[in-house]
Structure formats: C-alpha cells, structure tokens
Chain A
Amino acid sequence: MKRQRCVLGLMAALLLASSPALAADFEAQLDPAPFDATTRADVIGSIGHVTATLNGNTLTVNGTFRDMTSPARGASLRIGLAKGVLGEAIGTLNVTATPEGTVSGAVQLSAAQIEALGREAIYVRVDSEKAPEGNLQGWLEAKGK
C-alpha cells in the first residue's frame, strides 16, 4: 500500500488547494469482474479502459470497453475500503447498450471520496446483461504512475 500513500499525499495537497483550476488525471484498465467457473464464460476476455479528470470536486469519466459477451446495461463509480476491495456505488455512469461501446459521466465527490480517490480506492464498474453484478471493473490510478 506504499504507492497509495504517495498518491494520497498528492491528493491531500490538491484538496487543500481546493481550486477549480487544479485538475488531476486518472486512468484504469477495466478487467473482468470476479467470477467462478459458472460465470467465467460471461466475463472472461472482455476488457476496457477509462480516463478520469478531477476538477474541483467533479470527477469526469470517459472510456471504452469491448469483447463483452452481452450488451452493457449500466455502469457506476464505486468506492471500497482500499484498492482492489469491492464496495458500494457512489455515482451512476452512462454506457452504450452494446457489447462494445463507451462509458462516461460526471460524479460529484465528497471530501472523503476525494481522499479515497487518492488512495486508489475508487473504481469504475460496467455491468452487462449476462453479468448484471459486474462485468468489468478497474481502479483509478494517477495517470502516468
């Protein structure tokens, strides 16, 4: 968790500055959400990528996904206790209702959520018809890390 502490410091500085003019860029590869043998075929092989920009307290997400075995049916920004830990939705994102498409949206974050973003505990999840509880997921990291 050492890298997250470095990013946390950066984010704390950003938060203290609290100026809309300051922006921070993030990105995540979207990988298959947790599966077992019965659900593997529904999600394995799918992939995506998102970028995100924090401007003030607004996080704007844009990305693409492909190779899902069923059409997307929703997406969300979510928060866990730490990077890699699943958690609850904190905002809704838009998706194209296709197996290959785009994900986008803007979510207002609280101070605690911005702090969590700095700890890399915020992630994007794309749901599909075959995997309504998560087809793709990816934790946002500072760009160029």
Chain B
Amino acid sequence: MSTARFLAGAALLIGLGGTYAIAQQKQGAGVFTAQQAAAGRAVYAAQCAGCHRDNLAGGGDAPPVGGRGFLNNWNSRTTADLYKFIALSMPAGAPASLSETHYTNVTAYLLSANGAKPGPRPFNKSVSVKIGSVATGRAPVLVAAAKSAGAKPAASPAPSTLPLNQRTDLMAPPFVLGHTVKGTVKNYVDVTDDMLKSPPDGDWLMYRRNYQGWSYSPLKQITPANVKSLTLKWAWNMNEGGANQVTPIVHAGVIFLSNTSNTVQALDARTGELIWENRIGPQSRIAYGGTRSLAVYEDKVYVATTDAKIHALDARTGKIVWEQPLGSPRNSNTGGVMVMRGKVLTGLTGCDSYSQNNCYISAFDARTGKREWIFHTTALEGQPGGDTWNGLPNLLRGGGDTWIAGTYDPDLNTTYWGTAQTKPWFRASRKSGAGATLYSSSTLALNPDDGKLKWYFQHAPGETLDLDEVFERVLINHGDQKVLLTIGKPGILWKLDRVTGKFIAAKETMFQNVFSKIDQQTGEVTYRSDILAQKTNQWFSSCPGPQGGHDWQATSYNQPTDLLIIPLSQSCVMIKGLDVEQKLGGGGTAASQQFYFMPGTKQNLGKLVAYRTSDMKEMWSWQQRSPFLSAVLSTGGGVAFVGDFDRNFKAVEVATGKVIWQTRLGNTVQGYPVSFSLDGKQYIAVTTGLGGGSPQQKPTMLLHEVHRPATGHQLYIFALPD
C-alpha cells in the first residue's frame, strides 16, 4: 500500500467518525448509517455509560454491551430484538423514557461498536438481521482509545420531534458545580470521640446511628398509641439523577444531607432552610452512584464521592478543607464513611473492571487527610490467602468491593466490614475454578489503627451468582457473649463470635435454592450441584437472585426487645455468566438475567421479618406485594419504620409486626430513615428516590401495575402535632 493510499484510507476513516469505521471487518450489508451510530454514541454517553461504562464492559447489574460478552449473549438474536430490549427496559430506572430516534441511534451505535458496518440505509425498529451476521464483537478498544484521546461525538442526536414536555434531554437544569451556597451553621458544637461512642439521644451522627450498626433511636415520644397522628413538618426536593439512597446525618440542629451528583447540603432541621451547599461533583449519571452516608467528626463533614475521592468539608461553612483520591478512575464509592479513633475509614467499589490497584479499604487522618493505611480485600499473590485464586494474577482478581461502610467495637478496638463477591460474578467467567477467592464474600475484623487483619469469616467461598454478603455488620452483646450478626443476598442470617470470628449459627430467613446444605457446626455452605459444574453461557436458576434476599436496605436492631428487624425481597432469576476479556479494563460482572417470581410467595416481593437475636428465633413476619426499598428504623418507643417500592411509608409495632400507620409519599421510599429530636420533639426523617441496581430493576420488571413518577428525590420530615 502506498503512503498516499494509506493517508487516503485514514482520511476516509476519520470522515466516517473514526471510532466506528475502523472495526468494520464483518462482511454483509450495513443495517444502519454512520450518522446514526455517531448520534447514538452521544446518547450512549449520556444515558448508558453510567452503568455500562465508557468501554462497554458493563458493571454492577449492567451486562457488557461490547466484546465477546455482548456477542455471546446476542449472537443468535436479531437487531430488532436488541432495539426492543433497549427501548423497553432502558435507561435503568426510567425505561422507555427516550424517543424512538434515540433508541434507534443507540442501537446503531452498539452494533457499530461491536464491529458491524454502516451502510446507506438507516436502521429502524423493524430491521431484523441476526446480530451474529453483522457484528464481530470487536471495536470497544477503539471506543476507549477515542475517549482517552479526548475525541468528541461526531454529531449531536437528530433533532427531536417530541413535544417539549416530553423532551427528557431538556428536563435537567444546568448543573453548576462548586460551593454554591455559602451560609454558616450557628452554634455548631464539635463532635467528639465520646459522642461517637455514646451518641446523644437526639442526634444521628453516623450511618447506622451508633458504632454497633443498630439503626435504632432511643427516642420514645412516638409510640404505637400516637403514631397515627404523625404529620408532615416540612419537605425538601433533592437533586435528581443518579441513585438516591441517603442517610440524613443530624447534629446540632442541622441535617447534613448528601445528594446525588455528590452534593452536600446543611439544612436547618427545624425549618428546612438551606444553610450551605457544596456541589462537589461530578454530576451523577443515570441510575447509579448514590452516596449512602456522610460522617461528622470534630468540625468537619466527610463525604466519599462517586468518582472515588474523599473530601473533608468545614461543617460550619461547607468549604472543602482537604480531599484525597481513593482509587483509580474506574473505581467509585457509594458505601459512605465512618470515623473512628481520629481516622476516616471508607471502602471502594467499581472493582469489577480489571485494574492494577485491586480493591481495598482505606483509612485517612481525619484532620489532615493523610492516608494511613489500606487493606486489600482481594488477597494478592504471595500474601496470606493469595493462593485461593486458582493462580490468577493480581490483575484478574476483581471484586471484593466494600460498598457498605463498616461498624466498630470501641472496647475491642476492632472494625468489622463485609466484602462483596468476586468479579466477574461467575466462576466460569473469571476462571477461578473452585478457589475460595479470599477475601470476597467475607466478614473482616480489622484493627483501625493499622488496618491489620484480626480474623475473617468467609460466608460463601468462591461466590458465583452475584449474591453479596457485603451488608451491615450488627454488633450485639448477650451478657458476656459478644456477637456479630449479618445477612446477605441469600437471606441467611449469620451469627459469629466477634472476638474470634468463630461461627455460632445460621438461619434461613426465606426460601433459597442456591445452597443444598449449610453445616450448622461450621457454617460451611455447599452449592447446588449444577452450580458447581457451571460453564459460561449456561442458564442457572437462582432463588433469591441479585435483588436479594437482603440487600443494602439495612436491618434495625431494637435493643429493648432484642429483635433484629430485617427487610427482605423475594424474587428469582435465570442467570448466565458470559465470557470476558481477561485483560486490563476487561472483566466486569459479565452476566445476563431473566426474571421470575419466587415460588411459594404468591408474587409477594416484600417480606419483613423479626428475629430474636439471643436464640435466633423468628418472632413475626409478613409479606406484601412491593419490596422494601428503605432500611428499617426502630425506636425506643416501640415503633419501627420502613418504606417500599410503591411509595408507602409504614410504621410497624416492634413487638408484633402489626402495621399501625402508613402514608404515601411522592416516589419510592428509598434510603435510610432516621430519627432525631429538637427542643424536646421527636422527628422522623425519610427520603424518597430512584436509581440503583437490582432492588430497583427487579420490581420494575415484575410489578407491572406499579407506576412511579420519573422524578422524586425528596427528604420528608414527620413529627407529632405541636
């Protein structure tokens, strides 16, 4: 090839949009135009990449839409099927909300990014060609290359013909980042170590209110007898977009509130007046990226943001005091932060994509921001536990995310964290064989001073169906016995000795068919035989599925009754693991799912159950159609609060489980309700929200009669009448 011909060819490629044209190696007539693919890329970047990633590799609940994983999943299906799938179910959290043109263009882009060739005729939803006949599954590398080179989309989406009130691209107001409201909190009182150890009754200083992770307020003003009189005191609209799964933090008459788009606000708890606001950013992409909890300590508010950074703000003004990176650009943080012994501890997520830094828990000096230590939650080569990965190199040791903040026992000076499963989800995808893949799906007991591991207990060695065990670790004393309780997606309630890590008991709180045996002496689980014999691209039944069982909607330990109140979800999936690219940037969660109701539940997705923790006896339970999307809050007044997918916020009598009050809010009750008091009055704060993974996705698919607004992130404050 002469130089001139080479340059001419290169120019032609650039003219076609570069990214798309270079990978058109498959033979056959084009089923879309280059202009559609270019326009679709812009739609993808705005509406899809938040979950499926810029490199199309997928992550979390989002399957890969590029490469071998995509082609294995879609090879035998048609372009019309792909269009239909996207148009009916995407974007996550707002299915069928884009225009037909947008869906057409993004379908064209995905075909193009997987090696299909453009042609003169435009794609439309009726064009039905077997995807395997036009796509090769090769091209994402070029997409990533274009991004790293700073390339911009070749063209904007075609002009919409929709009425203005249906133009989703016009709905969001311009989002200005920065310290946007500069008020000052008056009469702020520094939060001390003693306050963190023994929180004042009227405050909610951390994620689960106390170090022990109880989600329990000792306040007693609201009781089963008067809860029916609860009235709304004020409400506050929060940022839309992203996943709203927040815990309001309350101190000194101020609510410190993390919004989506990594925005922190200080609100007067009496009036709802905004005192200060810092829009740290970046702006949240659709559906994903909640910041579940802030922390307050001394004169600072701490927030870990979805771009994997940690920030300390002046609690009085909202001004940034220090900030530090947490991980690589592929990482994120949604699990919130905890402060103990002058250190800020936080986890890391987004560890499904193969990267050099693996996953870990970090600790920073609360005053200076200096990083004190990290603990790798995937055991590395040559380290203790490093031989449990079937010989995989460190690069391919994905997962072990810590997307729920840990708890802490000051007496034992030990912090307890749950870890997520290994990534990709399936053993066959990640090629980890029967390896336990430590320290995934485990409880970790760490020394907060130096990050050294005291003990671990792995609940599901070599986990393989996206059944996390990452959730809250609840610390309870029964006389001299110091125990830890936790429950993961399989719905098994675990009880461990938190001094030694020794297994004490396990209870199945709901139907599950994943484990054929749970050894009641050791806690060892045995997978169903077909799961052990898995291959990629095979379907497997999983009850529960990735919704859980139990998910991030936390339990509440009601100390006066010794009851642990657990929100559960009941749904199943057919799930198959996909092949992955075992290279830097590859991996992902790599699975495809189908949905069905759990047998024997009569299509009730929600279940609320209370266990007495001393003897692990179930004391009451009931089911309902909608799953619970909020954590449980219980109080010293004997009332528990919980909210559901269908917008109902309910009060339950702790002793009996009876629903004694409920109201309907503006959207799904999602987040972590809290209780606080001011001037002798008890308040209940609860948020509504959209966005998130399986807990949003599964009921959206299964509950066909539930219709929710497309917006509605809000904070509501309830109290008894004055």
- B234 at interface by CB-CB < 8 Å: no
- B511 at interface by CB-CB < 8 Å: yes
Q: Which of B83-91, B127-135, B408-416, B579-587 contacts A (4 or more CB under 8 A)?
A: B83-91
- A34 at interface by CB-CB < 8 Å: yes
Contacts of A145 in B (CB 8 A): 600
Q: What separation, in Å, do the CA atoms of A3 and B509 have in the docked complex? A: 12
- B541 at interface by CB-CB < 8 Å: yes
- B722 at interface by CB-CB < 8 Å: no
Contact A85 B594 (CB under 8 A): no
Contact B596 A34 (CB under 8 A): yes
Q: For residues 23 through 43 of chain A, which have their beta carbon under 8 Å from a beta carbon of chain B?
A: 28-29, 31-38, 40-41
- A84 at interface by CB-CB < 8 Å: yes
Q: What separation, in Å, do the CA atoms of A132 and B23 have in the docked complex? A: 37
User: In the complex, what's the smallest C-beta–C-beta distance from A55 to chain B, in angstroms?
Assistant: 24
Given contacts A37-B89, A138-B599, A141-B600, contact A85 B528 (CB under 8 A): yes
Q: Which of A32, A36, A45, A81 contacts B85 (CB 8 A)?
A: A36
Q: What separation, in Å, do the CA atoms of A110 and B674 have in the docked complex? A: 56
Contacts of A1 in B (CB 8 A): 508, 512-513, 515-516
Contact A84 B599 (CB under 8 A): yes
Q: Give the number of residue pairs across the A-B interface with Cβ within 8 Å.
A: 82
User: In the complex, what's the smallest C-beta–C-beta distance from B520 to chain A, in angstroms?
Assistant: 11
- B529 at interface by CB-CB < 8 Å: yes
Contacts of A40 in B (CB 8 A): 88, 701
Q: What separation, in Å, do the CA atoms of A37 and B529 have in the docked complex? A: 29
Contact A82 B528 (CB under 8 A): yes
- B621 at interface by CB-CB < 8 Å: no
Q: What separation, in Å, do the CA atoms of A37 and B95 have in the docked complex? A: 10
Q: For residues 73 through 98 of chain A, which have their beta carbon under 8 Å from a beta carbon of chain B?
A: 80-86
Given contacts A33-B596, A34-B595, A35-B595, contact A85 B513 (CB under 8 A): yes
Indicate with 1 or 0, residue by residue over A130-142, a CB within 8 angstroms of chain B CB atoms.
0000000111010
Contacts of B476 in A (CB 8 A): none
Nearest neighbor of B87 in chain A, beta-carbon distance: A37
Contacts of A81 in B (CB 8 A): 528-530
Contacts of A45 in B (CB 8 A): 704
Q: What separation, in Å, do the CA atoms of A2 and B508 have in the docked complex? A: 8
Contact A29 B513 (CB under 8 A): no
Contact A35 B512 (CB under 8 A): no
Q: What separation, in Å, do the CA atoms of A86 and B602 have in the docked complex? A: 18
Contacts of A80 in B (CB 8 A): 541
Q: For residues 157 through 176 of chain B, which have their beta carbon under 8 Å from a beta carbon of chain A?
A: none
- B288 at interface by CB-CB < 8 Å: no
Nearest neighbor of B544 in chain A, beta-carbon distance: A84
Contacts of A31 in B (CB 8 A): 596-597, 599, 603
Nearest neighbor of B518 in chain A, beta-carbon distance: A1
Contact B595 A83 (CB under 8 A): no
- A107 at interface by CB-CB < 8 Å: no
User: In the complex, what's the smallest C-beta–C-beta distance from A19 to chain B, in angstroms?
Assistant: 29
Q: Which of A37, A82, A137, A139 contacts B701 (CB 8 A)?
A: A37
Contact B541 A84 (CB under 8 A): yes
- A15 at interface by CB-CB < 8 Å: no
Contact B600 A139 (CB under 8 A): yes
Contacts of A12 in B (CB 8 A): none
> Can you report 10 residue pairs joining A to B where beta carbons are below 8 Å apart?
A31-B596, A34-B594, A35-B594, A35-B596, A37-B85, A44-B704, A80-B541, A84-B511, A86-B539, A139-B599
Given A32-B597, A44-B704, 17 extra CB contacts under 8 A: A1-B508, A1-B512, A3-B511, A31-B597, A34-B594, A36-B594, A36-B595, A38-B88, A81-B530, A83-B511, A84-B572, A85-B528, A85-B541, A123-B599, A138-B599, A141-B600, A145-B600
Rank and list the top 7 A-B pairs by shortest CB-CB distance, nearest first. Answer: A37-B89, A34-B594, A84-B543, A85-B541, A31-B597, A139-B599, A37-B88
